[in-house]
C-alpha cells in the first residue's frame, strides 16, 4: 500500500496514485535500462533484479567468510545491571564508615521526587582530588547542570595558573 490512508494521498485515491506512479521511470546503473520506479528499492540506483544478482554473487564469492561470521558468538554489550553494580562498588570505595547513610538516602529520595540528579560537590573521579560520598559533599541539581559540571570544577579549586594541568593529565592517563 502506498499511503496510510486515502485522505493522506495527494492524488485523491490510491488508484490514481498508482496510475501516476506507473508513469515515473528510473535508470538502472548496472543493466543500463530504464524501468518503472516500482522496480527499484527506495534510494537505490540499481533495480531489484540487479540487486538480487549482486547479492547472490557476493554470497557465492564470500561463502567461508559468511559461514565464519554465523558461527562467531555475538558480542554483547555490558548489561545495564553490571554498569550499575560497577558504579555502586565505586561509591562504596569512597564512602567512609562514619558517613550518615540515612542522610545520603534522603538526598537520593529528594532527587527522585524532583526528577533531578545527585552531584558530588568535590568530584569522586578526578586526577587531582577524590571527594567522599558523604552528605556534606552531595547536592541535588538538574541533569543539565550535572552534565555541564561533570568533574571539571569544585569550590576552592586551585587556579589554572598554579598547576600545570597538561602534565598532570598526562601522568594520570599513563596509570
What is the reported pLDDT for 90? Answer: 77
The answer on pLDDT for 164 being more than 90 is: no
What is the reported pLDDT for 9? Answer: 47
Of 143 and 86, the one with more pLDDT: 143
Of 27 and 13, the one with more pLDDT: 27
The residue-averaged pLDDT of 144-159 equals 75
Question: Which of the four pLDDT bands, split at 50, 70 and 90, describes residue 69?
Answer: confident
What is the reported pLDDT for 125? Answer: 79
Sequence-distant contacts of 119-127: CB under 8 A, at least 24 apart: 119/145, 119/146, 119/149, 121/154, 121/155, 122/154, 122/155, 123/150, 123/151, 123/154, 124/90, 124/91, 124/94, 124/151, 125/90, 125/151, 126/151, 127/168, 127/169, 127/171, 127/172
What is the reported pLDDT for 61? Answer: 93
Average pLDDT, the chain: 77
Q: Which residue ranges make up each domain of the chain?
A: 6-71, 96-173
Question: Which of the four pLDDT bands, split at 50, 70 and 90, describes residue 173?
Answer: low
Amino acid at each position: 500500500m502506498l499511503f496510510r490512508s486515502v485522505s493522506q494521498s495527494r492524488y485523491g485515491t490510491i488508484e490514481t496514485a498508482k496510475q501516476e506512479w506507473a508513469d515515473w521511470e528510473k535508470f538502472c546503473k548496472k543493466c543500463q535500462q530504464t524501468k518503472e520506479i516500482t522496480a527499484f528499492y527506495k534510494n537505490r540506483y540499481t533495480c531489484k533484479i540487479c540487486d538480487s544478482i549482486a547479492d547472490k554473487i557476493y554470497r557465492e564469492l564470500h561463502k567461508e567468510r559468511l559461514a565464519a561470521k554465523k558461527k562467531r558468538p555475538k558480542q554483547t554489550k555490558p548489561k545495564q545491571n553490571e554498569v550499575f553494580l560497577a558504579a555502586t562498588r565505586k561509591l562504596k570505595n569512597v564512602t567512609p564508615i562514619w558517613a550518615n547513610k540515612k542522610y545520603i538516602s534522603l538526598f537520593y529520595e529528594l532527587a527522585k521526587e524532583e526528577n533531578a540528579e545527585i552531584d558530588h560537590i568535590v568530584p569522586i573521579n578526578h586526577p587531582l582530588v577524590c571527594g567522599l560520598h558523604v552528605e556534606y559533599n552531595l547536592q541535588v541539581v538538574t541533569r543539565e547542570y550535572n552534565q555541564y559540571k561533570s568533574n571539571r570544577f569544585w569550590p576552592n579549586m586551585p587556579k589554572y595558573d598554579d598547576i600545570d594541568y597538561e602534565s598532570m593529565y598526562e601522568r594520570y592517563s599513563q596509570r
